[in-house]
């Protein structure tokens, strides 16, 4: 059976499972299956239905979520994968207390009408006073085929974002960046802030590549990572703030969070 046929079958099964007595013997869906369905052109709503109704054996580690996002899987589907994983055998849902005969059992679970509010996992916001602007995740970042060697012999690898100017601008020299991540991920080491070197048609900044030592040079900006302990997100979602230690000079900046790149510009006051 070809992949496309299998995925078409999975979607059909997802619909037919509503019928009582329907039996199936399919392997649990995996991250790879979801990415393959997207690449095969299966509509996103059908993939979402399959994720929510088919047995799944998903990996929700930081690298796995990054791979899903880079594989073209949308934030709603990723949110559903995390939700399904949280309700797996390792996290059995609590049974509602039984009520009087003939009366519906009272539910202690939070209302699910709005669904999991993950702000897309890759949702990153620039906080400038009372102004809160969502930054665009760049998936068209590419690695420059230019490598330079530092004094210690380590390689300095550059990434590049098309365009010479970020759409989101601020004149605040010390804005705050806010992002949400699933509770099981530890953010330490998964985020960076760089000043971009503006070229004629793109902006360059050090690549964030795990398992490879990269010299960030003088472009890295120091910050403090602060968890918002007052935030009570669904499914254990946590909110973190990146608070810059020093003022930013006017220019173009890039932050890399969970393997995705976001950009913003700092203008001179009064510009």
pLDDT tens across the length of the chain (271 residues): 444 444 444 444 443 343 343 344 568 889 989 988 888 888 887 888 888 888 888 887 767 777 888 888 887 788 778 778 776 644 444 444 444 444 444 433 333 333 334 444 557 999 998 898 999 888 788 876 555 555 555 566 788 899 999 999 999 999 999 988 877 777 777 788 999 999 999 999 987 665 555 666 688 899 999 998 888 776 677 889 999 999 999 999 999 887 788 999 999 986 5
According to the model, what pLDDT value does residue 226 have?
A: 93
Q: Given this model, what pLDDT does residue 105 score?
A: 41
Note the pLDDT of residue 248: 96
For residue 241, give every residue at least 6 positions away whose Cβ sits within 8 Å of its Cβ, in sequence order, or none.
127, 176, 177, 178, 225, 226, 227, 228
Alpha-carbon Rg for the chain in angstroms: 22
Cα 75–Cα 77–Cα 83 angle in degrees, nearest 5: 105
Q: Locate 29 and state its tokens.
A: 């869906």
Residues 103, 120: Cα–Cα separation, whole Å = 38
Confirm if 252 and 198 have CB atoms less than 8 A apart: yes
What tokens appear for 158 in the block? 């550059």
pLDDT of amino acid 209: 62
Cross-strand bridge partners of residue 16: none
Output the pTM of the full model: 0.56
3-state secondary structure of 195: strand
Is 177 within 8 Å of 241 (Cβ atoms)? Answer: yes
Both tokens of residue 106? 């009272």
CA distances from 227 to 123, 177, 231 (A): 16, 12, 9
| CA–CA dist 188, 199 (Å, integer) | 31
């Amino acid at each position: 059976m070809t992949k496309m046929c299998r995925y078409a079958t999975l979607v059909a099964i997802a619909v037919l499972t509503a019928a009582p007595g329907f039996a199936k013997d399919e392997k649990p869906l995996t991250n790879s299956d979801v990415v393959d369905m997207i690449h095969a052109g299966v509509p996103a709503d059908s993939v979402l239905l399959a994720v929510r109704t088919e047995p799944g054996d998903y990996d929700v580690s930081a690298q796995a979520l990054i791979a899903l996002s880079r594989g073209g899987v949308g934030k709603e589907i990723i949110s559903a994968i995390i939700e399904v994983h949280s309700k797996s055998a390792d996290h059995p849902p609590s049974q509602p207390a039984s009520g009087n005969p003939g009366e519906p059992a009272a539910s202690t679970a939070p209302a699910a009408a709005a669904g999991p509010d993950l702000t897309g996992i890759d949702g990153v916001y620039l906080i400038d006073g009372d102004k809160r602007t969502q930054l665009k995740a760049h998936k068209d970042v590419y690695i420059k085929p230019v490598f330079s060697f530092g004094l210690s012999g380590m390689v300095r690898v550059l990434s590049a974002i098309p365009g010479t100017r970020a759409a989101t601008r601020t004149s605040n020299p010390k804005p705050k960046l806010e992002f949400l991540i699933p509770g099981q991920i530890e953010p330490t080491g998964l985020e960076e802030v760089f000043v971009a070197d503006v070229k004629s048609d793109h902006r360059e900044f050090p690549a964030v590549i795990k398992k490879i030592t990269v010299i960030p040079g003088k472009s890295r900006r120091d910050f403090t990572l602060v968890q918002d302990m007052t935030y009570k997100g669904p499914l254990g979602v946590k909110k973190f703030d990146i608070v810059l230690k020093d003022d930013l000079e006017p220019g173009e900046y890039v932050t890399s969070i969970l393997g995705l790149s976001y950009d913003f510009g700092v203008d001179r006051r009064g510009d």
